[in-house]
Structure 1
Amino acid sequence: MNLYHLRYFSVLAETENYTQAAKMLSITQPSLSNAIHSLEQEVHVQLFAKQGRNVYLTPAGHQFVQQVDQALAILDRGVAEIQQSTQRNTLIKVAGLRTLSTKWLPNTAHNFLAAHPETDTRFKFSNDTGLSPDIIANLREEKYDVAFCSKVDDQNDIDYFPIAEQELVVITPLDHPLAKKKAITLTETLPYDQITFSTRSGLYPVMQRLFSECGGQPNSAYSIEEDQAVAGLVANNFGIAVVPNMSSLKTMPIRIIPLTFPKWKRVFYMATLKQHYLTPAVQQFVDFVKAQRQQ
């Protein structure tokens, strides 16, 4: 059944005048007449009867126009919802570790938008807890399109792509006995109270393993989840710490000492769900991040 014919029928039923209806539809009167005739032949029912120069709906026409108007209203709502959905598809929902969200992620999003000025893409940045296990859990619930965090597990439902690295450093208060050292090993940190990572942090098992290689575990004065919070306690003389070399460290009143042994790098990843549909905007952003990494 021709959709245009149904719309023509609806307008003619409202106006009951071919000339007026044709003008409203921006078509010729013969075209309208032919369309109504074709529709009546298709449904095998007379929909209109003549009354002078006007027409009026037959009883069958009255019944049919109610169904047609309902169907057209449903169709129009569907089209509107699809259009709104298409507009929403320009939204990219991202989440990231706080160490990435302070500089790297905003810069990357800004550079992506600058490289694609023809799009109306927008970003929605998550206010997640900032811990990789929570970020990945929410990614699996499809709360985000893309996540930037540490690798949490080896399950095959997530595609991890490396995007950045950080070496470990030792940080101390400015007046600490170790503050004058130009380089240091983990063994040299063992006599001093340390701010360590809690078991919920992705760095906890890493630090356990690295200290084991050096013959002992640190005396933990405080156990903290986030690396920036760890650095804040060090800056206020609560102890020393071994942390990734974040850019924010340079803004704090602490000493940053290169770690010579054991060597280890923290790798950050872009994480996406393998079975999650990526809209064109999201796929374009994912490809952009990969291309930037490969340059």
Structure 2
Amino acid sequence: MNTRLLRYFVKLVETENFTHAAKQLHIAQPALSVAIKKLEQHLDVPLFHRNERKVTLTDEGKVLLEHARLILQQIDDATIAMAELKGLEKGEVKLGVPSMLGSYLFPEILMGFKSQYPNLKLTIIEAGTQSIRQMLLAGELDLGVIHNEAVPERLETTHLITSQMVAVVSEAHHLAAQPVMKFDDFFKEELVMFKAGYFHREFIDDVCHKYHFTPKISFETNLLPMMLNIVRHNFSISALLELVTEHEKGVIAIPFEEPVYLNIAMAWRKNGYLSLADRAFLAFVKEYRSC
């Protein structure tokens, strides 16, 4: 099977439109249509449902997509590996980091790594752990920081940090003097939360499911500075990693009565190729955390 046809197929899946896909592939639309038809004839199955506005995958196309992405990723990995045998480096680390860790744990790590390897490029993608997992599996990220629970079988992990999840209130809040926060008290308050997909939100959803709480979410945002300002001004309370509250004024961290600790890990694809740059970054992070 021609890998060029697989690349055309994946691009059409991503754009859902022949015109847009052809433009991104820098080929004429009729040429793309012919190529996709050739792929369908070769496999003897229809891959797309076609209409005027967009195309969608058939059941057969969905099966091919999973294999096509894996094949193309392995080809890209092999290309990088061969280049490095000639003494070249990929020169880039694509890293997915959740907002809390990106703001408080990683700046020093990234600056330290850049000082040691000034010629390497760091591309940081801020996203929730669920999105990071999916991007790792799809080959869109080299490395990602995720909650080290329910990790997909295709990912490898190494422990990064353990941090306590704490309730966060303003200094003027009526619960600010409490030594510990009961879940009953926490869920009676108005809450400001990250959107679904972040480990902070996963924690809240898990507690609600376990103890049958219904959270009163007044604000939902992925912007950590906004979240902290809402708490400071006493409009809502939240739950964040303790490492965040250690660096912020105007908020009080209160441990939960039932302590909650989250294990955070660095992850990558088990069967994926880690470039010299990726391996250097992993080694640097491990050394940094051991200091």
| TM-score for the superposition, normalised by structure 1 | 0.60
Partner residue in 2 for 1:122? 120
2:254 partner amino acid: I
1:90 aligns to 2:87 (yes or no): no
Is the Cα–Cα contact under 8 Å of residues 91 and 124 in structure 1 kept in the other structure?
yes
2:204 & 2:224 partners in 1: Cα distance? 13
Task: From 259, 264, 268, give the equivalent of 1:268.
Answer: 264
Q: Secondary structure at the match of 1:200?
A: coil
Structure 1 letter corresponding to 2:123: F
Map of 1:285 onto structure 2: 281
Query: Separation in 2 of the partners of 1:213 and 1:141?
Result: 32
Encode CA deviations 1:37-62: one digit per residue, 9 max, x unaligned. xxxxxxxxxxxxxxxxxxxxxxxxxx
| Deviations 1:95-127 (CA, angstroms, capped at 9, x unpaired) | 21222222422322333455xx5x55413222x
Preserved CA contact (<8 Å) 2:159 2:266: yes
Structure 1 match to 2:232: 235
Q: Does the 8 Å contact 2:192/2:230 carry over to 1?
A: yes
Partner of 2:182: 185
Q: Give the whole-Å Cα distance in 2 for the aligned partners of 1:82 and 1:191.
A: 58
Q: Does 1:110 align with 2:75?
A: no
1:101 counterpart letter in structure 2: G
| Alignment partner, residue 192 of structure 2 | 195
Residue 15 of structure 1 aligns with which residue? none
The Cα of 1:255 is off from its aligned counterpart by: 2.0
- State the 1:178 CA deviation: 0.8
How many Å apart are 1:257 and its aligned residue? Answer: 1.9
Q: SS of the counterpart of 2:168?
A: strand
Partner Cα separation in structure 1 for residue 118 and residue 171 of structure 2: 48
CA apart distance, 1:254: 1.9
Q: In the TM superposition, what is the alpha-carbon distance from 1:159 to its structure 2 partner? A: 0.8
Deviation at 1:177, TM superposition (A): 0.9
Distance 1:197 1:104 in 2: 18
SS of residue in 2 equivalent to 1:159 = strand
- The aligned residue for residue 170 of structure 2 is 173
Q: Is the 8 A contact 1:132 1:152 kept in 2?
A: no
Percent of residue pairs bearing the same amino acid type: 14
2:100 maps to which residue? 99
Equivalent positions of 1:132-171 (< 5 A) are 132-151=129-148, 153-171=150-168
Say if 1:206 and 1:247 are closer, same or farther in 2 by CA, change over 3 A: closer
Distance 2:241 2:166 in 1: 6
2:231 alignment partner AA:
V
Counterpart residue identity of residue 100, structure 2? T
Read off the aligned partner of 1:158 and give its amino acid letter. L
Q: Against the structure 1 CA distance between its residues 197 and 256, is the aligned structure 2 distance closer, same or farther, given a 3 Å change threshold?
A: same
> What is the letter of the counterpart of residue 105 of structure 2?
W
Match among 228, 247, 251 for residue 250 of structure 1: 247
Deviation at 1:228, TM superposition (A): 5.1
1:216 lines up with 2:217 in the alignment: no
| 1:105 partner letter | F
SS at match of 1:142: coil
Alpha-carbon separation, structure 2, partners of 1:203 and 1:210: 11
> What is the alpha-carbon root mean square deviation over aligned residues?
3.2
User: Structure 1 residues 271-280 or 180-189, which shifts more?
Assistant: 180-189
SS at match of 2:199: coil
What's the secondary structure of 1:167's corresponding residue? strand
For 2:141 and 2:187, locate their aligned partners in 1 and report how far apart those are by CA, in whole Å: 40
Give CA-to-partner distance per residue, 1:158-210, whole Å, 9 cap, x none: 11212012212111122211122233222232332222444333333422333
Is it true that 1:207 corresponds to 2:188 in the alignment? Answer: no
Distance 2:105 2:126 in 1: 18
Deviates more, 1:151-160 or 1:164-173: 151-160
1:188 aligned partner, one-letter code: D
Aligned to 1:4: none
Deviation at 1:267, TM superposition (A): 1.9
Tell me how many residue pairs correspond in the alignment.
210
Gaps of 5+ in 1: 1-80
Q: Point out where structure 2 has 5 or more consecutive residues left out of the alignment.
A: 1-81
**In the superposition, relative to structure 1, how do residues 222 and 113 fare at CA in structure 2: closer, same or farther (>3 Å)?**
closer
